[in-house]
Structure 1
Amino acid sequence: MSTAARFPIARTRLDNGLRVAVCPDRGVPVVAVNLWYGVGAAHDPAGRSGAAHLCEHLMFDGSRHVRSGEHQLLVHRAGGSGNATTGYDRTNYFTQAPTGALDLVLWLEADRMASAAQGVTPAALDTQRRVIGQEKEQRRAAGPAANGVQAALRELLPAAHPYRRAPIGSVSDLAETTVAEVSDFHGRYYRPANAVLSVVGDVDPDEALGLAHRYFGDVQGVSAAGPADPAPAHGSGPGRAALTGHDLIQYVFLLPADDAATGRDLDAAEIALDVLAGGAYARLYRRLVISGLAAQVTASVSRLAGVSFGTLTARPAPGRDSSALSAAIETAIEDVAQFGPTDAELAIARARLEHGWLLRVGNRIGRADELSRLAWRAGDPGLLNERLPALDAVTVRDVTRAARNWLAVPTTEVAATELVRSAT
């Protein structure tokens, strides 16, 4: 399968430091634009958790040439749609629109990169505080599964580790954030040298690179203060935390960072989790769901610059005790760590991950985001074409070692009080 996907990729770096990647895909007249900034919860100032998330919200609230609320309106009128997300170490803005709207989308992104913070008002700040407060209420209502990861990271990571702060932020910190602080934060991080622009779709690469020069070439940012690319996190791990309730058991594992040096270990750890709980052929699905002990078993991995993490979640079947699930999960992890997966299990897990990756990059928005991630974290968007060969190269021995080193480690129990605190 390693030769099934080869994408043409053009790239450049503007004089102001902006990295640009273009991947033509002329099938339909649609283009996706992704602007990835190297700023997230890890960069929030002390006492101002949620600063990056708040800034993301305010980036839609007007800039020098765009009035409040007009950014999304202009995109929608052109037939497009877009949004943004804030993580632990990055914020990404993504738009998909008809090819004819590419100039508009790039102009809008360049304008808010250069000047969004200049238009922030106390009223806009209050509005976005309320919106974020509503998001937190929705997350709190979602229950333990939505809050367990952050509670686990608080238990597993050192006191100074920036990933202990949830990207959504603290209501009390946000209440004290001022317009001046937002402006300073934007000026520090929303600069070309701290960003990657990726364009995927019905475009000529030379024309798209030319448009990037046209709209972003003169952008310097509001301020040159502060480092363009501060280290977002200290490495940590391995570690494992467990949350157990009457209707849920969730393990959170600290995993290798998402970088070139540890990429094979991270791939192997992800395959190990998939062998355990990745689908209908996974060990725990067969042992727990088919046997009637569990209603659901799932696993996932989040790749981050400082330290990645994986989750394994199981829900007891009606009338079943979660303690039986814990014992079965512990046994399955130890089995993989000691004896490894079978060749068939490795082939199935690898195929599942390759399929998921192909679905992601088959979507223009997903491919643009992946190009930005690789350009930022690995320095080479061309590594997009090396993803399938990298997965194919993972061996049974790699998976066994990863399970032993990253999954079969001592467990820290997460108290219910930590879950409540993580949601506030």
Structure 2
Amino acid sequence: MRRILLLGVLLATPCLGQEPLLSHRLYTLPNGLRLVVHEDHSAPLVAVNVWVHVGSGHERPGRTGFAHLFEHLMFEGSRHVAEGEFDNLLEAAGAINNGSTNPDRTNYYEVLPSNALELALWLEADRLGTPLDSVTQRKLDLQREVVKNERRQSYDNRPYGRFFEVAAALLYPPGHPYSWTTIGSMADLDAASLDDVRAFFRTFYVPNNVVVAVAGDVDADSVYRAVQRFFGWLPAGAPVPRPEVAAPPLPGTRYRTVEDRVTLPQYNAIWRSVPAFAADEGSLLVLAALLGEGRGSRLYRRLVLRQQLAQSVTVVQDGMLRSGDFYVRVLARPEVPLRWIEAAVLEEIARVAAAPPSAAEVRRAQARVESALLDELQTVLGKADRMNHYLYYTGRADYLAEDLARIRRVTPADLQRVAAVYLHGRPRVVISIVPQGRTDLAATPPAEEAR
């Protein structure tokens, strides 16, 4: 049944050649919960996508990893749903479900046949309103160990897994909400108590801090009536505190070498850029594609195809709620000194800053960015998540046309300008991940940057 459902998810796509739309209805319940509904009648499927506006960026030192730990606890039962029954009920209806946490938000979703929509809404409402009825010390201890094991698998014991933790601490000053990873530290996970769980729930898991996005084969007004019935009884909470912490500029270029159980050295450079949907983010997204997206990108052609110094290249503009960072990550071939990789990366950035790329090259990069965005909209789940994303970061669930427009209007001169403003000659964090005992492969500061 799950395979059939996933095939149906793939089939719920817009017709080729059509400009995609995220037409929707937006509702607000008296308790502050918002509902956004997109009707897509191409297949008998529906996605329910719940965003709670809390992530690791809302935590405090000493309690890191708590948003992610709480996400795990939300699958452990509620007042009317026994432990283990949440998944059982959904699987019996042919559904898939999961959740995720990042620095800005926590997300829960289901994709299921549209005639089972009310099951998903009831389950989400029950766990949003009554998880404390079933949270026990045993469940907290169990999920704490699950998260700690996840940390071991994804960070501590995974090749190159320490990168994001090292990067966060170098990119942001101590105490800044982006200076730690979503998974948190082992010590902080051990320190989490039932009182912490209760306080976290009462502060952040309130209907006025939640958006429910529904996309699929539904009638918007019928969905609203169902959401009123299932979620309307939840009492509104106090206004949710929002950390108002500015992202300071990087004080200078910093180099760090990490020895790991790996065979290939990896070069990582990160610059401070702009938050999500800031004025220059569209240009930075296109610049990232021009430098490192696909076989035709500048760094791939140079490092992988021509010089054969690298296995892979990844370039990302990562815009978040309060800040943004621009990443260049290159996995080198065996024995390649990362100073060679750095020299090539900085030269290619300098080339863009010195002279605008051709219009044809910019159009190819724009096409890659636009294609990645439109690929997200090929499923009802992608549409529901994108509406939530837009509503959170821009205040408008139908921001798709403007999102495409900001990519399409980028000019060669824009790329030259943002390369000069944010990257060329600007402070950066450089992290070399090298095989154990091979610090000689690491990138090191040139003489003028050495301290």
Calculate the TM-score normalised by the size of structure 2: 0.86
Partner of 1:135: 150
Work out which of the residue numbers 273, 294, 298 in structure 2 matches 1:255. Answer: 273
Partner of 2:21: 6
Partner of 2:397: 381
Greater helix percent: which structure? 1
- Say whether residues 1:326 and 2:376 are aligned partners: no
Label 1:274 to 1:127 Cα distance change in 2 as closer, same or farther (>3 A): same
**Secondary structure of the structure 2 residue equivalent to 1:60:** coil
Label 1:240 to 1:361 Cα distance change in 2 as closer, same or farther (>3 A): farther
Q: Report Cα offsets for 1:333-365 as digits up to 9, x if no partner.
A: 111122232211210111001101111122221
How do 1:115-154 residues align onto structure 2 when only pairs under 5 Å count? Answer: 115-139=130-154, 140-144=156-160, 146-154=161-169
What stretches of structure 2 of length at least 5 have no aligned partner? 1-15, 259-263, 435-451
> How far, CA to CA, are the matches of 1:236 and 1:102 in structure 2?
45
> How far, CA to CA, are the matches of 1:82 and 1:241 in structure 2?
41
> How far, CA to CA, are the matches of 1:190 and 1:2 in structure 2?
41
Label 1:242 to 1:77 Cα distance change in 2 as closer, same or farther (>3 A): farther
**Secondary structure of the structure 1 residue equivalent to 2:130:** helix
| Residue 381 of structure 1: how far off its partner (Å) | 0.3
Partner of 1:56: 71
Q: Is the contact between residue 162 and residue 232 of structure 1 (CA under 8 Å) also seen in structure 2?
A: no
Partner of 2:298: 283
| Residue 398 of structure 1: how far off its partner (Å) | 1.9
How do 1:141-180 residues align onto structure 2 when only pairs under 5 Å count? Answer: 141-144=157-160, 146-180=161-195
Label 1:56 to 1:266 Cα distance change in 2 as closer, same or farther (>3 A): same
| Residue 8 of structure 1: how far off its partner (Å) | 1.9
- Say whether residues 1:312 and 2:324 are aligned partners: no
| Residue 44 of structure 1: how far off its partner (Å) | 1.5
Partner of 1:340: 356
Q: Report Cα offsets for 1:136-184 as digits up to 9, x if no partner.
A: 111222222x332331221121323100021111111111211121011
- Say whether residues 1:234 and 2:246 are aligned partners: yes
Calculate the TM-score normalised by the size of structure 1: 0.91
How do 1:346-385 residues align onto structure 2 when only pairs under 5 Å count? Answer: 346-385=362-401
Label 1:229 to 1:385 Cα distance change in 2 as closer, same or farther (>3 A): farther
Q: Is the contact between residue 240 and residue 407 of structure 1 (CA under 8 Å) also seen in structure 2?
A: no
How do 1:56-75 residues align onto structure 2 when only pairs under 5 Å count? Answer: 56-75=71-90
| Residue 244 of structure 1: how far off its partner (Å) | 5.9
Q: Report Cα offsets for 1:12-37 as digits up to 9, x if no partner.
A: 11111112111111111110111001
Label 1:242 to 1:397 Cα distance change in 2 as closer, same or farther (>3 A): farther
Of the two, which has the highest radius of gyration? 2
> How far, CA to CA, are the matches of 1:382 and 1:404 in structure 2?
32
Matched-pair identity in %: 33
Instruction: Note the aligned Cα RMSD (angstroms).
Output: 2.2
Letter in 1 for 2:31: N
What stretches of structure 1 of length at least 5 have no aligned partner? 418-424
Label 1:393 to 1:415 Cα distance change in 2 as closer, same or farther (>3 A): closer
